[in-house]
Amino acid sequence: MAVAKVTIKKGREKPIRNRHPWIFSGAVSIAANAVDGRLVTVVDHKDRFLARGYWNSKSQIQVRVLTWEDETIDDAWWQRMLGRAWQSRAQNHAGAELSANRACRIVNAENDYMPGLVLDRYGNRVVLQAQTLFVDRHKEKIADILHSDFDAEQVFERSDIDLRRQEGLHPAVGALVGGPPPDRLLLNEGALYHVDIVRGHKTGFYLDQRRNRQKLHELVQASASASDGPPSLLNLFSYSGGFAIAAQRDSDLRAVNVDSSRAALELAEKNFALNEYDKPSSDACAEHIQADGFDYLRYCVGEGARFDYVVLDPPKFAQHKRQIARAARGYKDLNLSAFRLVKEGGYMMTFSCSGAVSRDLFQKIVFAALADSGRQAQIVEQLSAAPDHPVALTFPEGEYLKGLLLRVY
């Protein structure tokens, strides 16, 4: 079947030549035979080849680019691209993550040049997320390749993110290869975690925070002798307790997990029980509080509470550039209260996972919150997603997770 042609307006081809993978409706001049969810060849106003990608007229991003070479997108292409992503995880940083009870992101969508496709591996299971119509149409093939070429025993689909609605798609959850996953599976990151692939957030777990959980663990260990009595952690937007569980490894730290989701806190409680065996003393404990994060912070400030560590990992506040101002107010409010709660010489880990909020802007917002709080803080480290979530250099939007490790005085 011939591939339809999309012609770009004169003067709008530069980002495409610079290998940005998104082409917005405003840049397209003619798209005569383009069919939603099918391949298109992108050319400039002089009919010169620019890229090949896929089309969806329903989305603001009408073309997502698969390649800037004039090559065929067929099964062999998928095998090659999936192989490349798989190999990079196996060879680099996350090699150990590919063994049983370990988890790792295998394909990070646009950042691995497979826009709209996320693959997370939990042991020998792979969880697939098809974010766009084109990927949705190819998901069975992708699952078959994962099974036949990469020994994935099961491929389970968690295509239930909001983005699909903009593509005209309904949520899809279910087994693509093999049976359904077990109700709960165990993940080993040093600490142990229950992961709920079927109902949990994302593909079951926040794999992107792995390195930062580890950092918090190391920080607590390093500071252990300095503090008198068991240290304390306020883990805001805790989900299944990830940061608290890591911080409590080999420590008698007291944690308070706060989340609006009852199901998330139930998982956090189970995770605490799962790891109780390696606590040095019975001081270690965890409270699980179902509350709005903003309200709970204000309550703590009112009570004059103080913690050695505060982690702030809120959900995405800005879905689009239009929502940046509102998101900035939200981040500032949270960080202002959080600064007031950190003990003298304590630490704060603060994050934004909004792709539309740049690292630079986030740092400015945190700075503004600090100024209002009357405290002092040093940046000890810039934080980002774990290295199995690489960011394509030509796709700044791919750097969605940014954070700061701060020492507060």
**So which residues are the catalytic ones?**
353
CA separation for the pair 344, 332 (Å, rounded): 20
For residues 42 and 51, the answer to whether their CB atoms sit within 8 Å is yes
Does 160 sit near ligand SAH (CB under 6 A)?
Answer: no
**Could you say which residues in the range 180-209 bind ligand SAH, by CB under 6 A?**
201, 206, 209
Neighbours of 86 (CB within 10 A): 22
What's the min distance (Å) between Cβ of 213 and ligand SAH? 7
Contact pick of 21, 115, 200, 293 for ligand SAH (by CB under 6 A): 293
Sign, Cα dihedral of 297, 301, 305, 311? positive
What's the min distance (Å) between Cβ of 201 and ligand SAH? 6
Contact pick of 44, 259, 308, 388 for ligand SAH (by CB under 6 A): 259
Stretch that binds ligand SAH, among 1-9, 53-61, 93-101, 258-266 (CB under 6 A): 258-266
* Residue with Cβ nearer ligand SAH (80 or 262): 262
Stretch that binds ligand SAH, among 122-130, 184-192, 234-242, 378-386 (CB under 6 A): 234-242
What's the min distance (Å) between Cβ of 212 and ligand SAH? 8
Stretch that binds ligand SAH, among 55-63, 256-264, 275-283, 297-305 (CB under 6 A): 256-264
Contact pick of 22, 156, 239, 339 for ligand SAH (by CB under 6 A): 239
Does 116 sit near ligand SAH (CB under 6 A)?
Answer: no
Count Cβ atoms within 10 A of the Cβ of residue 45 and give its class: 0-12 exposed, 13-18 middle, 19 or more buried. Answer: middle
For residues 381 and 354, the answer to whether their CB atoms sit within 8 Å is no
* Interior angle at CA 95, CA 315 and CA 381, nearest 5: 45
Does 243 sit near ligand SAH (CB under 6 A)?
Answer: yes
* Residue with Cβ nearer ligand SAH (155 or 386): 386
Tokens 């040095």 correspond to: 280
For residues 127 and 174, the answer to whether their CB atoms sit within 8 Å is no
CA separation for the pair 152, 121 (Å, rounded): 9
* Residue with Cβ nearer ligand SAH (13 or 388): 388
Sign, Cα dihedral of 68, 355, 129, 104? positive
**Alpha helices (runs of H) in 97-175, residue ranges in sequence order:** 133-150, 163-166
What's the min distance (Å) between Cβ of 299 and ligand SAH? 12
Strand order across the 39-43 sheet:
22-24, 61-67, 49-55, 39-43, 4-8, 28-30
Stretch that binds ligand SAH, among 23-31, 77-85, 231-239, 331-339 (CB under 6 A): 231-239
Does 264 sit near ligand SAH (CB under 6 A)?
Answer: yes
Does 261 sit near ligand SAH (CB under 6 A)?
Answer: yes
What's the min distance (Å) between Cβ of 406 and ligand SAH? 17
CA separation for the pair 346, 131 (Å, rounded): 40
Contact pick of 313, 318, 390, 408 for ligand SAH (by CB under 6 A): 313
Contact pick of 260, 323, 358, 363 for ligand SAH (by CB under 6 A): 260
Does 292 sit near ligand SAH (CB under 6 A)?
Answer: yes
Beta bridge partners of 157: 128, 174
For residues 337 and 310, the answer to whether their CB atoms sit within 8 Å is no
Stretch that binds ligand SAH, among 7-15, 116-124, 233-241, 399-407 (CB under 6 A): 233-241
- String of contacts with ligand SAH for each residue 38-77, x by CB under 6 A: ----------------------------------------
For residues 253 and 279, the answer to whether their CB atoms sit within 8 Å is no
Sign, Cα dihedral of 90, 94, 95, 99? negative
What's the min distance (Å) between Cβ of 263 and ligand SAH? 9
Contact pick of 86, 150, 237, 395 for ligand SAH (by CB under 6 A): 237
- Measured in residues, the chain has a length of 409
Number of H helices, E strands in the chain: 10, 20
Structure token digits, residue 94: 């996350």
What are the residues binding ligand SAH (CB under 6 A)?
201, 206, 209, 237-240, 242-243, 259-261, 264, 292-293, 313, 315
